[in-house]
Amino acid sequence: MASNEKQIKARGILSKHGCLNVAVTGKSGAGKSSFINAIRDLKLGQQGAANTDVKECTKDIQSYQIQENSHIVFWDLPGLGTETFKQENYTDQVNLLEYDFFLIIGSERLTENDIWLAKTMQNHKKKFYFVRAKVHIDIITEVWSRLNPRSKDQILTTIKNDCYVNLRQHGVSEDDIYLIDNFTPEQYDFNRLRTKLLEDALQFKKTYLTSEYVQKEIIIRHRKKVLLERIKKVAMETAATSSKPVPELGASLNIAVLLRETKYLTEQFELTVESVAGSEDLNSLHSAELQELIERNSVDIVCSEKGIIDVCKDTELCEIIDLQCAMQQRTSEVSDSWSCRIASKYLKGTLDIIYENAVKVNKEIFRFQCKILY
Ligand SMILES: Nc1nc2c(ncn2[C@@H]2O[C@H](COP(=O)(O)OP(=O)(O)O)[C@@H](O)[C@H]2O)c(=O)[nH]1
Ligand SMILES: [Mg+2]
C-alpha cells in the first residue's frame, strides 16, 4: 500500500471514540520506536514490536496499543530531518495536526528540529511532552570522558535545565519534560511518564463521553420539539378521519392512526447498544450489561386502545373527560375539537413519557460508560 494511502487510512482510525491518539515524533534515531516498545514491555524482535535501528527505518505510520489500556494509541511517526521528511513538508506528510497529543522524543543535544516541533505544536495549540531519551548513555559516558565525573543527579539536572531553557518559550513546563532511557524503563522518569499518559488518556475519554452525552441530550430535546409539531397535525387527522366513538373519553378517535403514531414516537428515541459511542470497543460482558441496563430502564408503552384510554385518563383532563362523557350521553354528539384535543393530549402525554425515558436512559448509559473506565 502506498504510504499516502496508509496515512489516509490512519486518518479514519484516528477519530475513534475518544481514544487518545498520541503521535510519537522527533528526529530520526532519537528513540521513538524504542520508546513504543518500552512502554509496551517489548524488546526488538519480539512479536508485535516496532522496528528500531541505527539507520532510518520508520517510513510508514503504524499504530500501537498497550495491553493495560485500550484508550490510548501510539503512532510511530517517521523521524524528522531525513532526506524524505524535512520540516517544510513534515506536517502534511504525516498529517501531524490530526493527532490529539504529542510526544517529542529527543536524544543528545536539543536540535533545531526539536525546537521546530515544539513551536509547531504551540502555534497549533497542541499539547505535548518533551521526552529526552538515552539518558543512561549520558551517565555512562560521563565516567569515561571526565576526570572528575559529576553525580548522576547533577547530570540529569543539567540535561533537564538545558531542555527547559530552550523549550519554555514554547509553553513547556518543567513537569512536561521527561528524562528516560528506553532500555531501563524502571529508572528515571519513565514510570512518571507512563502514569501521566494513562491519566491523560482517561481524562480525554471522560471529556469525550461527556460531550457525547451532552450532544445526545441536545438531539433528544430537539427531536421532541419536532415531534410536537407533528403531533398537532396528526391529532387533527385522527379526530377527523375514520374515527370511531370511544365512550370512555367522550371522544371519537381514529385508533389505528394513534397506534401507528405511538409506535412511530417510540422508534424516534430508541437507544440501542449499537448506537452507544464506542460500543464496538466493549467486551461481550460489558455489552450484555449495557443491553440489560437499557432494557431495565426503558418504559413499556402499551400499544392498544386500552393503553390510549389509560394515558388520557391519567392526564389533568380527567374531570373534563367525565363531563364530556356525561354530556355525550345526553346529546349523543361528539365534538371534533374535543376529539382533537383528546388525541393531542394522548400523543403529547405519550411523547412526554418517551422523552423523559430517553433522557434517563442516556444519563444511565453515560454513568455506565464512566464506571467501566476504571
Ligand atoms: N542506550 C539507548 N539507546 C537507545 C534508546 N532509544 C533508542 N536507542 C537506540 O537508538 C537507535 C535508534 O532508535 P529508534 O528507536 O529506531 O529511533 P527512531 O528513529 O526515533 O524510531 C537504536 O539503535 C536504538 O537501539 C535509549 O533510550 N537508550
Ligand atoms: Mg523509528
On the CB side of 102, CA atoms within 13 Å amount to 27
Mean pLDDT score of the chain: 86
As a whole number of Å, the CA-based R_g of the chain is 32
Nearest-CA residue for atom 8 of ligand 1: 31
Dist CA 107 CA 101 (whole Å): 20
Dist CA 63 CA 44 (whole Å): 16
| Residue 1 predicted with pLDDT over 50 | no
Quick one: which atom of ligand 1 is closest to the CA of 180? 27
Quick check: CB of 31 below 6 Å from ligand 1? Answer: yes
Quick check: CB of 82 below 6 Å from ligand 1? Answer: no
Quick check: CB of 34 below 6 Å from ligand 1? Answer: yes
Dist CA 335 CA 343 (whole Å): 12
| Residue 279 predicted with pLDDT over 50 | yes
| Residue 17 predicted with pLDDT over 90 | no
Strand order in the sheet with 69-76: 62-66, 69-76, 20-26, 101-106, 127-132, 177-179
Quick one: which atom of ligand 1 is closest to the CA of 182? 27
The pLDDT, as a whole number, for residue 329 is 63
Nearest-CA residue for atom 6 of ligand 1: 31
Phi-psi region of 76 (alpha: psi -120 to 50; beta: other; left: phi over 0): beta
Quick check: CB of 368 below 6 Å from ligand 1? Answer: no
Question: Which percentage of the chain shows pLDDT scores above 90?
Answer: 55
The pLDDT, as a whole number, for residue 214 is 95
Quick check: CB of 79 below 6 Å from ligand 1? Answer: yes
- In this predicted model, which residue has the larger pLDDT, 56 or 153? 153
Ligand nearest to the CA of 80: 1
> Which residues sit opposite 83 in a β-bridge?
none
| Residue 320 predicted with pLDDT over 90 | no
DSSP secondary structure, 240-272, as one string: HSS-EEEGGGTEEE-HHHHHHHHHHHHHHT---
Contacts of 152 (CB under 8 A, 6+ apart): 139
The answer to whether 138 and 159 are in contact (CB under 8 A) is yes
Burial status of residue 353 (CB atoms within 10 A of its CB: 0-12, 13-18, 19 or more): middle
Quick check: CB of 77 below 6 Å from ligand 1? Answer: no
Nearest-CA residue for atom 1 of ligand 1: 134
Mean pLDDT across 227-254: 83
Mean pLDDT across 82-93: 94
Mean pLDDT across 337-350: 87
Per-residue pLDDT tens over the stretch 194-221: 999 999 999 999 999 999 999 999 999 9
pTM given for the model: 0.83
The pLDDT, as a whole number, for residue 2 is 41
Ligand nearest to the CA of 30: 1
Q: What domains sit in the chain, N to C, each tagged with a CATH number?
A: 3-188 (3.40.50.300), 210-371 (no CATH)
The pLDDT, as a whole number, for residue 54 is 61
Q: Cα–Cα distances in Å, from 141 out to 105, 109, 146, 152, 230?
A: 20, 14, 8, 11, 78
- In this predicted model, which residue has the larger pLDDT, 215 or 250? 215
| Residue 3 predicted with pLDDT over 90 | no
